[in-house]
Amino acid sequence: MSALQHRGGDSLPSFWPKAQHLIAKDILKPHAIYWPTMLMAAGLPLYDHLNVHGYWVMDSGKMSKSLGNVIRPLEMKARFGMDAFRYFLLREMAFGQDAKFSEEALVTRINADLANNLGNLVSRVLAMQQKYFAGAVQPLSSGWAAEDFELRDKFIQAENELNSYVAELQFHRALESVWSALDHANRYIVQTAPFTIIKDAEKQARVGEVLHHLLEAVRTLSRLLAPFMPDTARELSALLALSDNALRVPWGQGFVAGHKVNPAKVLFPRIETDAKK
């Protein structure tokens, strides 16, 4: 300690900052009892918070090298993609509790949440934008329909909840909020039925507005997913042909009329299980 004081002089806090401790539950006692005791004895401030995570376990119990029931992340990345693997880990575990890992649960999450939900939404929106308007974003009128406000407000709510949950390390709840907004966007497509009203020439302007709002939803998703699925977030912004700055502006200001978005692509292919092969 004397050496640290000698190097830092009066700026000891710069060498010994308060911190958040992130530990596994098997070393709780040293961090919760011994370490605070030593800090108090030295007259130093305690850490801000002690964050204790649980374990990933298999059907055979806790992962162990001796048992050989370990999961190798790089193998998971090669087989399923890093964003899909990362999403599963953050979505499936409630921080502080144990969680069970299985490839079956991972594949279920990928197919249901990423392929059927997120991927399908993005594909449908961009495909309609290309088919009906050659990728050119249509203008928004000053008079929005009630369902347009509801869609916007759902994503605003999701972002507020996400920020609150992340501050509490409740990552699974944060992602639940995002997916709730995503579900609402899929329902908005059914509710507004742009694929039906496009057949009426007098309603084509409304179709352009609906798709504009849906593009705003995808733009917001790119921002909200960035901390959890950075590669996917970058891919979404590339599909929308937007810069990072354009991702941060309020709803309705992300696109100018005539802006061209890129054609749809498959973000997360469905994974066929052995039973379906």
User: Could you report the per-residue pLDDT of 30-57, keeping only the tens digit for each?
Assistant: 999 999 999 899 888 888 888 888 888 8
**pLDDT given for residue 267 in this prediction:** 95
Say if residue 10's pLDDT is above 60. no
Note whether 217 and 236 are within 8 A (CB): no
- The answer to whether 25 touches 52, Cβ cutoff 8 Å, is yes
Q: What is the pLDDT of residue 277?
A: 46
Q: Which domains does the chain have, with CATH numbers?
A: 1-53 (no CATH), 103-276 (1.10.730.10)
Query: pTM (2 decimals)?
Result: 0.86
Nearest to 52 by CA among 96, 89, 99: 96
Q: With 70 as the cut, is the pLDDT of residue 276 above it? A: no
pLDDT in tens, 162-181: 999 999 999 999 999 999 99
Residue-level pLDDT at 186: 97
Please, are residues 53 and 28 in contact by the beta-carbon 8 Å criterion?
A: no
pLDDT for residue 11: 56
